[in-house]
Amino acid sequence: MRNRHLGELVLNEAQIQAGTKKVAELINQQFEEVVVISVVPGGILFTADLVRQLEIEVRMDTISCPHTPGDRNNQSEIVYHQNIEIEGKDVIVIDDAIESGGTMKRLVEYLSTHYQPKTLSIATLFVKPGRVDIPFPQLYAYEMENDDLLVGYGLPWQDKLRNVPYVSKLVK
């Protein structure tokens, strides 16, 4: 894909596949049955790739909280159309990445407080170093070296570029 906002390649398609496999192995080792809650829209691609590699029982649901990537103080409404009971269940919230972590922290605290899962974990392809402290287990494949703005594989720029099959640095 050609786009003036796509810069230096950070994760190619093979690295994404390898990272997805790594996270799936972590989940397969730790759980026998889970409810995965995909953060939409950003987590859709990683969720789809990840759950196909899980060898355990999986139920799926979605949650959203519109935000600007990198916004540590996201106060937008959390929308969770609960289709599956999660009280007393092992729950994994899946997103493409933890950037600042502010939104993810709000989501897992919300689920933990309102729905009492047995366990609550987070699965992402990668995390960034400047993220806020989130007091829940995080399963991820890569830790980025810096906090560069990234796009592709679910990560948007101005609500575009989510469909790029790799992750690259953003060129503004």
Per-residue pLDDT in tens (0 to 9) along the chain, 172 residues? 678 899 999 999 999 999 999 999 999 999 999 999 999 999 999 999 999 999 999 999 999 987 655 555 667 889 998 999 999 999 999 999 999 898 899 999 999 999 999 999 999 999 999 899 999 999 999 999 999 999 999 999 998 999 999 999 999 8
State how beta strands 150-151 and 167-170 pair.
Answer: antiparallel
pLDDT attached to residue 155: 94
One-letter amino acid for residue 54 of the chain: L
CATH topology for the 34-67+74-152 domain = Rossmann fold (3.40.50)
pLDDT attached to residue 108: 97
- Torsion, Cα of 41, 158, 99, 118 (10° steps): -20
C-alpha to C-alpha distance for 108 and 3, rounded to whole angstroms: 34
pLDDT attached to residue 75: 75
In this structure, is the dihedral angle defined by the CA atoms of residues 77, 47, 122 and 13, taken in order, positive or negative? Answer: negative
Where in 68-137 does DSSP place strands (E)? 90-98, 119-127
List helix spans (H) across the chain.
Answer: 13-30, 44-51, 102-115
